[in-house]
Structure 1
């Protein structure tokens, strides 16, 4: 597949209002200094960068405003020249900050955060990741303490309850398959922020007669999953739908309201020549296609329910393998 055709498109490209659907992209990486990354991203995205604060640069491009930052609030906010500190500490501030900065750039991920991007522009992100690799960017596999991710924030076609249910059901049945496809690095397996949904909740979600309204859908989810730390985080969406209801279960200032899902599962394996942004995106498109084919979603959901029961067959055949074969047989996976 040529680079110009790397990112597949789902069938549903527009929202209910007729606008092209958009997706936010967050890329965590290392291997480059903060200054190198700002300069290179500016060149690759044809943008003008300016410093917004310490270790935070804003890059104005024709696609909108990208943010490039060191993904650690304590480091970004650190000021050893603060007048409240002893004079002896402030005198050493410059030298100390140089040491802190050098260490932080080796351990703390740098992050590129895109604006909401029309689906049709995602080849620009494919090219960006490929060029960053060539420049020496490194991902999760480079060191045990790296746990870098590539996160997607896809806008939904609409916010009606039946649509939300189909997307959540599609993710539930595809979770183990997606996890295997992304080859989640051991450093991220040790973290808590890509956990699957509660098994009890998943059982409720995948039943054929599950047809809640939006309020009941939120309450069902939040009863069992009152945290941001899920492979598919619904809290930004819920903040957009009903912030007061969300606050009954979760209070976290990090939650940003937006009409999107927050897909946190994939590694950023950017230094691997076999890894591409499009490999992550195209697997998400499989979920998109399944979520918008009600009959086939029901078929795979039934197979998933059977796989969760104790039987000889389930002891000898894994669900990811069964799911993968089903997706191949029906043309979801090329």
Structure 2
């Protein structure tokens, strides 16, 4: 049986209005049938599931409403009465649907989407992941065609540009370290979802004295990163801050307005007994801590700028190695 590890809490646990910060969690996996997964999550978290449509169930729990679905709109929306469906499939009727469903569950990820949860409630996700692994859930390394991820949508302490820029800077300088720890499966390295921010934007972001207002902050990012497919996706946040400005650069119905970051870098390695949800969360907390420690953030930014220069040291030691060593020296890890 696998073990659980405590989920650490950042120093800044509340928003400026005094409420505990919340985070949404998205877990992609396979290895379990859809009905089996729904029943298991309902048993573990409490509540009665309601089937909303094909492969979409809602589960009201003491933590809020979870959604469990197959992460494929074409399969979820398939209707054999639709004349656009090939006649051979329509003639097979329910038998065809059974074959399609069986194939889909093997190659398309099942997804658990949590409600916004208080940071202090995350230990229940740690336990959920353990129980799913023990029940036979598989992660990205076992995927045939798709790479499975574990995504976080952490609420921010406040939405002031100065706060947001600190978080962006902390993530930018820790990206290589995070990638080395959480990009475990080769298949995801060929997908667009884990791309870093453009070098042009990162260099601007890390510039000494960078202090834009909200409008300039958004423009600086969007001019170089007009896409959802980034390891830290800022578009849901920007939709919340200024949707008309975002629409000038990106129009995508999949963008959901949220006062959160969208961290989509980590693999879901759920079938690895050495991997836990807390591995991902606790490393995110390092980003939190750096973002809220002005002196350490300034020191790490200076080291990062130095690492971009041509020198013998930079030719023999990667930034990932340098940042990892720095984090250890400061007792962040």
Q: TM-score, normalised by structure 2?
A: 0.97
- Contact persistence 2:183–2:265 (CA under 8 A): no
Distance 1:84 1:230, change over 3 A: closer
Alignment correspondent of 1:175: 175
Distance 1:209 1:86, change over 3 A: closer
Alignment of 1:117-132 (within 5 A): 117-132=117-132
Alignment correspondent of 1:96: 96
Q: In the alignment, is residue 314 of structure 1 matched against residue 318 of structure 2?
A: no
Q: In the alignment, is residue 41 of structure 1 matched against residue 34 of structure 2?
A: no
Alignment correspondent of 2:165: 165
Alignment correspondent of 2:134: 134
Alignment correspondent of 1:72: 72
- Contact persistence 2:4–2:130 (CA under 8 A): no
Distance 1:281 1:121, change over 3 A: same
Q: TM-score, normalised by structure 1?
A: 0.97
Alignment correspondent of 1:8: 8
Aligned residue for 2:24, secondary structure, equals strand
* Structure 1 residue 89, shift from structure 2 partner: 4.5
Task: Give the Cα separation in 1 of the matches to 2:159 and 2:168.
Answer: 12
Deviates more, 1:226-235 or 1:47-56: 47-56
Task: Give the Cα separation in 1 of the matches to 2:240 and 2:222.
Answer: 15
- Contact persistence 2:21–2:119 (CA under 8 A): yes
Alignment correspondent of 1:277: 277
Aligned residue for 1:111, secondary structure, equals strand
Task: Give the Cα separation in 2 of the matches to 1:3 and 1:250.
Answer: 43
Task: Give the Cα separation in 2 of the matches to 1:12 and 1:245.
Answer: 29
User: CA offsets per residue over residues 165-196 of structure 1, 9 Å max, x none?
Assistant: 00000000000000001133111111011100
Uncovered stretches (5+) of structure 1, i.e. residues with no partner: none
* Structure 1 residue 50, shift from structure 2 partner: 0.6
Task: Give the Cα separation in 1 of the matches to 2:44 and 2:71.
Answer: 21
Task: Give the Cα separation in 1 of the matches to 2:144 and 2:112.
Answer: 22
RMSD (Å), alpha carbons: 1.5
User: CA offsets per residue over residues 21-47 of structure 1, 9 Å max, x none?
Assistant: 000000000000000000000001112
- Contact persistence 1:155–1:260 (CA under 8 A): yes
Distance 1:86 1:141, change over 3 A: closer
Aligned residue for 1:193, secondary structure, equals helix
Q: In the alignment, is residue 17 of structure 1 matched against residue 14 of structure 2?
A: no
Alignment correspondent of 1:227: 227
Task: Give the Cα separation in 1 of the matches to 2:53 and 2:206.
Answer: 46
Alignment of 1:203-218 (within 5 A): 203-218=203-218
User: CA offsets per residue over residues 77-99 of structure 1, 9 Å max, x none?
Assistant: 00113367687653312111111
Task: Give the Cα separation in 2 of the matches to 1:86 and 1:187.
Answer: 32
User: CA offsets per residue over residues 41-72 of structure 1, 9 Å max, x none?
Assistant: 00011121010111000000000000000000
- Contact persistence 2:4–2:127 (CA under 8 A): no
- Contact persistence 2:30–2:143 (CA under 8 A): no
Task: Give the Cα separation in 2 of the matches to 1:43 and 1:220.
Answer: 46
User: CA offsets per residue over residues 263-310 of structure 1, 9 Å max, x none?
Assistant: 000000000000000000000000000000011100000001111111
Task: Give the Cα separation in 2 of the matches to 1:216 and 1:318.
Answer: 31
Uncovered stretches (5+) of structure 2, i.e. residues with no partner: none
- Contact persistence 1:139–1:146 (CA under 8 A): no
